[in-house]
Amino acid sequence: MAIRRTCAVAAIAVSAVLVSAPSAGAIEGGEIVKEGAPWNAQIVWESRGLQCSGSIVSAEWVLTAKHCLPDDGTALSVWIGGLKQGEGQAAKVDRTEVPDKADIALLHLDRKIDASYVKLADSDPAIGSEDTIYGWGLTGPNTKPSDVLKKATVRVEKVGGDCLDAYGGSSVCVVGVTGYARSCDSGGPMISGGVQVGVLSTGDDKRDQYSSVAVNRPWITKITGV
């Protein structure tokens, strides 16, 4: 299992011509999102550009993956609701929160954003259900992040048990139907029945693990109130 990398790490790997395990980034296959998804978020590292995907859950909080957080103090900002890179409502991140055991993170914004916030699931999706993933990641091997938001259909293969995210937390394991995630898609949402059921954590070119929103919902509610 390979942890989904941020775009910065993926770029270093490409430039150094390193052979490594596949990572989760922009969606390969799938289709361009032409409308909707007003809750989508672009996670940007200062001086390094777009690194991960995410979703806005309330006026001041964005949900993404824990491994999307820089470990060197690099400042973070977000773009909310845009369908192209660098478009939408912008805000800076002034605080981050992470749980003990799950590849998710909450980013607190320095200003309130008026948007249509994503609804969060109280239960995991059914095995066999076909759901939608969103992201800004790479569109193929050795490529750059997508200039536009993309989506794809995936099928739920397993939930919980030994289906774990990069930090050992419960996750939803999926296989691609019309596409799958690549690097920079990390932190992006999986939507089932109009609610977010997962946060992209890890995987390979055929299967991906999405951290369970339902399992982590009590923690999310404790921090954000939603």
CATH numbers and ranges of domains, the chain: 38-109 (2.40.10.10), 129-215 (2.40.10.10)
| Sign of the Cα pseudo-torsion (218, 219, 222, 225, in order) | negative
What is the C-alpha separation between 65 and 105, in angstroms, rounded? 5
Closest CA to 98 of 63, 131, 146, 133: 63
Q: What does pTM read for this prediction?
A: 0.89
Torsion of CA 122, 125, 130, 136, to 10 degrees: 60
Q: 173 is written with which tokens?
A: 């394991």
Tens-digit pLDDT string for the chain (226 aa): 445 556 654 443 333 322 333 334 446 678 899 999 999 999 999 988 899 999 999 999 999 999 999 988 899 999 999 999 999 999 999 999 999 999 999 999 999 999 999 999 999 999 999 999 999 877 766 667 789 999 999 999 999 999 999 999 999 999 999 988 877 899 999 999 999 999 999 987 778 999 999 999 999 999 999 9
**Whole-number pLDDT of residue 144:** 73
Q: 38 is written with which tokens?
A: 């007003």
Which neighbouring-strand residues pair with 145? 138
Using DSSP's 3-state secondary structure scheme, residue 154 falls into strand
Say which residue the tokens 């299967």 belong to. 207
Please report which helix (H) or strand (E) contains residue 90, including its range.
strand 88-97
> What radius of gyration do the chain's Cα atoms show?
15
Say which residues have a Cβ less than 8 Å from residue 200's Cβ, sequence separation at least 6. Answer: 4, 24, 53, 65, 133, 135, 181, 185, 186, 187, 188, 189, 190, 208, 210, 211
Q: What is the CB neighbour count within 10 angstroms for residue 223?
A: 15
**Whole-number pLDDT of residue 16:** 32
Say which residue the tokens 């490594």 belong to. 20
